[in-house]
């Protein structure tokens, strides 16, 4: 099972732009599940995952293993391209 964990914050405009792009991807690619994690509400998890700098951060898992990390604003096409290799 593949999963997109998207780390966002309420104060982040880029998160507003990127959330629907990842959600649309998951709707098209049913092998992916989607989980959103709030940056401010989950400080220990954010620290454990070494999330810093630009938001949002999309961490892609295959099973328990992190396979790729996408950071900041990307076009829908760019998301598609980067995730299609997984």
Partner 1 sequence: MIYLDYAATTPAHPSVLSAFKKAAQKYIGNPNSGHELGLMAAKAIDKALTKMRHHLHLPSSYELIPTSGATEANNLAWQGVLNIPENKGKHIITTAFEHSSITANANYYARNGFRVDILTTDKHGHVDLNHLRSLLCKDTILVSVCSVNSEIGNRQPIQAIVDIIKGYPSVYFHSDVTQSIGKEPIELDGIDLISMTAHKFYGVKGIGLLIKKKKRDFTPIIRGGHSTTAYRRGTPATELIVSMERALKLAMQGQITNYDYVVGINEYAREHLSPLPNIVFNSEATDSPFVFNFSLPGCSSRATVTYLSQRGIYISNHTACESDADLSSAILSLTSDQALATSSVRLSFSYLTTIEEIDRLIEVLRGYCK
Residue numbers at the binding site for partner 1 (CB under 8 A): 8-17, 19-20, 36, 39, 46, 51-55, 73
Judging by DSSP bridges, how do beta strands 32-38 and 65-71 pair with one another?
A: unpaired
Q: What are the E-state strand segments in 1-86?
A: 2-8, 32-38, 57-62, 65-71
Minimum CB–partner distance for residue 11 and partner 1 (Å): 5
Q: Give CA angle at 26 (23, 28), nearest 5°.
A: 115
Minimum CB–partner distance for residue 82 and partner 1 (Å): 18
Looking at the Cβ atoms of 42 and 63, the one nearer to partner 1 is 42
Minimum CB–partner distance for residue 51 and partner 1 (Å): 7
């Amino acid at each position: 099972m593949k999963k997109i964990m998207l780390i966002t914050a309420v104060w982040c405009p880029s998160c507003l732009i990127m959330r629907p792009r990842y959600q649309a991807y998951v709707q098209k690619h049913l092998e992916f599940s989607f989980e959103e994690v709030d940056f401010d509400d989950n400080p220990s998890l954010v620290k454990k995952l070494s999330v810093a700098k630009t938001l949002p951060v999309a961490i892609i898992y295959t099973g328990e293993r992190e396979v790729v990390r996408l950071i900041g604003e990307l076009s829908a096409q760019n998301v598609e391209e980067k995730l299609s290799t997984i």
